Amino acid sequence: MDPFLTSRIVTDVLGGLTNGVTYGLVALSLVLIWRSTGILNFAQGAMPMFATYVGFALLSYHFGYWPCVVACVIAAVLIGGLTERLLVRRLYGKPEINPIVVMVGFLIVLEAVAAAIWSSTPRSLPSPFSLIHWQLAGRPFALSPFTVYEIATALVVMLAVAMLFRFTNLGLQLRASALAPEVSRLLGVRVGRLLTLGWMLSTAVGVITTILVSANFFSGLTPTVMDGIFAYGFIAAAIGGLESPVGAVVAGVLLGVVNQFVTDFVNQNAVIIIALAILVVSLMVRPSGVFTKSTQRRV
């Protein structure tokens, strides 16, 4: 095989992986919230974006990168918790349309307020690792220290979430609250608190994604930085099935790779169009997701 083509494919796969893990993380957060509260959080990208702005506003006070990251996570937890308590609580049990509309409205408000406070001009976040791609045999390789950091962080986060759910008592309670809220309450599980916790967790995962993305895309942090990622994350979650965390992550990674190939071999504009086509086809074939077991379908 033509060595140039091989290296191109390898580059695309690696580059796609880098994006794909971010889609996977967003998809994972969406699935977490969907399974625990039955709500599709359209503001899943905007909430962490806001938290990132808040956290990195501290930069102006000469704090370093890592303290700011911690601040971002704290802000994300607060935003997630407050949103659940104040906004989402009123939406349980309402017709399907209500939460969708409210979360879309929330998305718009968050982006508008962020732009009002911090303007839409991109801000470049400092990066703890070099963004410059390594060289392989004189040609730029798909990876840089930063992308490796990105992939590693994403994998660590996914693993941590998986372990939390599988092996801890808290995870057991979270799963129970999502699967059988009433029975859980009869067993003394404080379902309300766990739902709030679920939102906090989901936003925290989101903020890590946002921080990674904002540094990676050279264009930096803007109020709309998570829009595209959210769209692809949603598509991945929908294809993988909103019930399956593993499916969502896998679909996200695959989608990232596919997108990269499309960008390389077709053009930039075709990416979302093809992703949309994949979504449509996938939903026609398996309306509740590729990885959803048929008994689990919650339509």
Partner 1 sequence: MKLGTVRPIPIAVGLAFVATVIALVSTSTSREGVALCVALDVAIACGAVLSLPRFKSSHPVVFRAALTLLGLDVALFVTYYFPSSTNFNLSTGAAMSIVLLGLSFLTGASGQISLGNGAFMGVGAFVMAIWANHHTTTPIVITLLIAVACGALVGLLLGLPATRLRGPYLAGMTLAFAVAFTFILATFSSWTGGDSGLQLPTAVTAPRWLDGFFAAGTPPLKTTTLYLTDFTILVAGVAFFFMANLFASRTGRSMRLIRDNDVAAELVGVSLPRTRVVAFIVSSAYAALGGALLTLIDNSVSPPTYSFALSVTILSLIVIGGIGTISGALIGGVIYAFSTNVISWITTQTGLNPQGNLASQLNGIIFGGLLIVTMIFAPFGISGAVRHLWHRLRARSPG
Partner 2 sequence: MITIDDLTVSFGAVQALRHVSFVAETGHITAVLGANGAGKTTLLRTISGLKEPKTGTIRLGDQSLMHMRTEDIARLGIGHVPEGRGVIGEFTVEENLRLGAMMAKVNLAQGLQAQYELFPVLGERRKQHAAKLSGGERQMLAMARALIANPSVLLLDEPSLGLAPLVTAQLMHTIQSLCETSDLTVILVEQNATSALRIAHHAVVLHVGEVVANDTASLVAADENLRQYYLGLVE
Binding positions for partner 1, rule: CB under 8 A? 34, 40, 42, 87, 90-91, 94, 96-98, 100-102, 104-109, 111-113, 115-120, 227-228, 231, 234-235, 238, 242, 267, 269-273, 275-276, 279-280, 283-284, 287, 299
Q: Min. distance of Cβ 74 from partner 1 in angstroms?
A: 25
Alpha helices in 59-144 (DSSP H): 65-82, 97-118
Does 163 bind partner 2 (CB under 8 A)? Our answer is no
Q: Min. distance of Cβ 116 from partner 1 in angstroms?
A: 4
Q: Min. distance of Cβ 145 from partner 1 in angstroms?
A: 32
Closer to partner 2 by Cβ: residue 187 or 266: 187
Residues linked to residue 135 through DSSP beta bridges, in sequence order: 140
| Calpha distance 106→92 (Å, rounded) | 16
| Calpha distance 155→93 (Å, rounded) | 35
Question: Alpha-carbon torsion 285, 286, 291, 294, what sign?
Answer: negative
Q: Min. distance of Cβ 190 from partner 2 in angstroms?
A: 5
Q: Min. distance of Cβ 281 from partner 1 in angstroms?
A: 8
Q: Which of 78, 172, 274, 283 binds partner 2 (CB under 8 A)?
A: 172
| Calpha distance 243→91 (Å, rounded) | 20
Q: Min. distance of Cβ 182 from partner 2 in angstroms?
A: 7
**Phi and psi based region of residue 3 (left: phi greater than 0; alpha: psi -120 to 50; beta: remaining):** alpha
Closer to partner 2 by Cβ: residue 180 or 258: 180
**Residue 136 is inside which H or E element, if any?**
strand 135-136
| Calpha distance 233→221 (Å, rounded) | 18
Among partner 2, partner 1, none, what binds residue 183 when CB lies within 5 to 8 Å by partner kind? partner 2
Does 175 bind partner 2 (CB under 8 A)? Our answer is yes
Among partner 1, partner 2, none, what binds residue 153 when CB lies within 5 to 8 Å by partner kind? none
Per-state percent for the chain, helix, strand, coil, to nearest 5: 75, 0, 25
Structure tokens at 98: 């209500």
Does 288 bind partner 2 (CB under 8 A)? Our answer is no
Closest to 206 measured CA to CA, from 98, 65, 86, 75: 75
Q: In 3-state terms, what secondary structure has residue 106?
A: helix
Among partner 1, partner 2, none, what binds residue 108 when CB lies within 5 to 8 Å by partner kind? partner 1
Please state the φ and ψ torsions of residue 223, each to the nearest 5 degrees: -60, -25
CA distances from residue 257 to 12, 98, 170, 234, 264 in whole angstroms, order as listed: 7, 34, 34, 16, 11
Write out the binding residues for partner 2, residues 188-227 only, by CB under 8 A: 188-191
Among partner 2, partner 1, none, what binds residue 190 when CB lies within 5 to 8 Å by partner kind? partner 2
For the chain, first and last CA: distance in Å?
Answer: 47
Closer to partner 1 by Cβ: residue 34 or 146: 34
Closer to partner 2 by Cβ: residue 116 or 187: 187
Does 169 bind partner 2 (CB under 8 A)? Our answer is yes
Closer to partner 1 by Cβ: residue 46 or 253: 46
Closer to partner 2 by Cβ: residue 150 or 243: 243
Task: Determine contact, residues 217/225, Cβ cutoff 8 Å.
Answer: yes
| Calpha distance 247→254 (Å, rounded) | 10
Q: What residues make contact with partner 2 under the rule CB under 8 A?
A: 169, 172-173, 175-176, 179-180, 182-191, 295-296
